[in-house]
C-alpha cells in the first residue's frame, strides 16, 4: 500500500506525530512518502492567508498513486494552518481517495478538523478518520498511543 503523510510543522508537535505515523506504517511494510510542507518563503502566519499562492520546496499536487493520504496541521487561530489549506486546495485526483487528518494543538482546536474535512469532502475525498492531539510539549507515551490508535483506525477503515 502506498501512503502519503503530508504535514506542516513550525514547532515539533505535528512533526513528532507524523513521525509516529510513519513508523507505524513502516512496520506494516507500507510504502511511505513523507512530505514536510515547506514554503519557499516563510512569512508570519497571518500573512499566509493574504497570499493567492504558496510555492513549496517540494511541490506534490497529484495524489493519484496513493492509497491513503494523511494530512497533518498545527492549529492556528482555531483552524488549520494556512500552509496546509493552500496545499490541500491544490491537490489533484482526490476523488474517492481515503484521507486521514491529524492536528496538533496546545489549547482549543476550534473547527480545525471539520474545516479541513469539509474542504476535502467537497473535492470528492473520503475522510475516514481524524485525531486532535493536545500537547504543549513533546509527545509522551499517552499522546503516542493516541496516534497509534488513529493509525490503527485508518488501517481498519481502508482494508
Q: Regarding beta strands 68-76 and 31-36, do their DSSP bridges make them parallel or antiparallel, or are they unpaired?
A: unpaired
Q: Within a 10 A sphere around the Cβ of 10, how many other Cβ atoms?
A: 13
Sign of CA pseudo-dihedral 127, 133, 134, 138:
negative
Q: How far apart are CA 153 and CA 26, in angstroms?
A: 16
Here the CATH number for the domain that contains residue 105 is 3.40.50.360
- Provide the residue-wise pLDDT of the chain in tens; the chain has 159 residues: 999 999 999 876 889 899 999 999 999 999 999 999 999 988 887 888 788 888 999 988 899 999 999 999 988 777 788 899 999 999 999 999 999 999 988 666 678 889 999 999 999 999 999 998 886 566 678 888 899 999 999 999 988
HEC profile for the chain? CEEEEEECCCCCHHHHHHHHHHHHHHHCCCEEEEEECCECCCCCHHHHCCCCCCCECCCCCECCCCCEEEEEEEEECCEECHHHHHHHHCCECCCCCEEEEEEEECCCCCCHHHHHHHHHHHCCCEEEEEEEEECCCCCCHHHHHHHHHHHHHHHHHHC
pLDDT score at 14? 87
pLDDT score at 116? 94
Tally the domains of the chain: 1
pLDDT score at 47? 86
Taking the whole predicted model, whether its pTM rises above 0.85 is answered as yes
pLDDT score at 137? 61
pLDDT score at 95? 97
pLDDT score at 107? 66
For 147, phi then psi, to 5°, come to -65, -45
Structural domain range at position 57: 2-158
Amino acid at each position: 500500500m502506498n501512503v502519503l503523510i503530508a504535514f506542516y510543522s513550525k514547532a515539533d508537535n505535528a512533526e513528532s506525530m507524523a513521525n509516529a505515523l510513519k513508523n507505524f506504517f513502516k512496520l506494516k511494510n507500507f510504502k511511505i512518502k513523507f512530505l514536510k510542507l515547506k514554503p519557499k518563503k516563510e512569512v508570519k502566519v497571518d500573512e499566509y492567508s493574504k497570499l493567492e499562492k504558496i510555492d513549496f520546496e517540494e511541490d506534490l499536487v497529484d495524489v493519484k498513486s496513493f492509497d491513503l493520504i494523511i494530512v497533518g496541521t498545527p492549529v492556528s487561530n482555531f483552524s488549520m494552518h494556512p500552509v496546509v489549506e493552500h496545499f490541500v486546495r491544490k491537490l489533484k485526483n482526490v476523488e474517492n481517495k481515503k484521507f486521514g487528518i491529524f492536528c496538533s494543538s496546545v489549547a482549543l482546536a476550534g473547527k480545525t478538523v471539520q474545516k479541513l474535512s469539509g474542504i476535502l469532502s467537497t473535492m470528492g475525498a473520503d475522510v475516514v478518520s481524524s485525531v486532535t492531539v493536545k500537547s504543549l510539549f513533546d509527545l509522551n507515551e499517552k499522546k503516542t498511543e493516541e496516534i497509534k490508535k488513529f493509525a490503527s483506525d485508518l488501517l481498519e477503515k481502508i482494508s
